[in-house]
Structure 1
Amino acid sequence: MPHPAPNPERLADEIAHQLGQLSDHLVLLPAGEATKVIARVLDPEGGVLGRFTHLVATGSYFAKTQAEEGSLPAEVWLALGRAANELHGIGLDLDEHTDTLQRRHTRPAATTAGPPTASPLVVRRHR
């Protein structure tokens, strides 16, 4: 069976480069556009974080097979599995805020509202 990508290592390098470009552009975007980009990155269905989590989980399955065959140390498989689980947990934590980010950039400007007020940056987490 042929490889699905002609050069998977090059593809990984290109994706890493594009993520760097996205980060560089994000800093320069107006707040509304930046919020829209962040919401897309965090989108659990097709966002970068969800897809990256899936990639790490796939790597974990591969590493498990290789560890069972003795090609990789079991610690590699365990580390990838932990990373996939942590990323999934991070995604769940951020998912509850994705709607807020999406509403932020689609909300029409209020005509009677005053200037935004600062809020405390320390927030208790509810679980």
Structure 2
Amino acid sequence: MTVHDPEALAHQTVQQIALLNEHLSVAPPQQVARILGQVLDPETGVLAALTTLVATGSRFAQDRASAGLLPPEVWLALGRAANELHDVALDLDDHAEDIQRIARPKQTATVPPVPSALVARRHR
């Protein structure tokens, strides 16, 4: 695919993500899990691609900040955002198997799943 207008490509990408979000909100759980697995894939997923895009933006901002065209805070903020996205991707990758398990066809379970309290703990 040849891109003649990268700004249009950015706009189309946002629209496609919004459309995917609409589908996720009504899709069956197995399909949602399969899609999330693709989106969160640490090598080829949307989150990985977005992290790379923000890191590229950070390098752009670093060059412009070095030339005095942007405040250094812009470069630092983009770099911090890329690092945070990377950390989030690593955190989510720890749970990839849990998401994949939902995506598999249901098997007869010997023990029914037990609901858990939704307590958020951050692991790093």
| TM-score clears 0.5 | yes
For residues 71-118 of structure 1, give each alpha carbon's deviation from its aligned partner in whole angstroms, at most 9, with x where no partner exists.
111111111001001111111111111122123212x43325354331
How is 1:105-120 mapped onto 2 (pairs within 5 angstroms)? 105-106=103-104, 108-113=105-110, 115-120=112-117
Query: Using the alignment, how far apart are the partners of 2:109 and 2:89 within structure 1?
Result: 36
Using the alignment, how far apart are the partners of 1:27 and 1:5 within structure 2? 30
Size of the aligned set, in residue pairs, is 123
TM-score of the superposition, structure 2-length normalised?
Answer: 0.90
Q: Matched residues in 2 for 1:126 and 1:71: separation?
A: 39
Q: 2:118 aligns with which of 93, 118, 121?
A: 121
Equivalent residue for 1:36, pick from 16, 34, 38? 34
1:81 counterpart = 2:75: no
Superposition RMSD in Å: 1.7
Q: How far is the alpha carbon of 1:5 from its aligned partner?
A: 2.9
Percent of residue pairs identical: 50
Instruction: State the TM-score, normalized to the length of structure 1.
Output: 0.88
Moved over 4 A (4+): none
| CA distance in structure 2 between the partners assigned to 1:115 and 1:103 by the alignment | 14
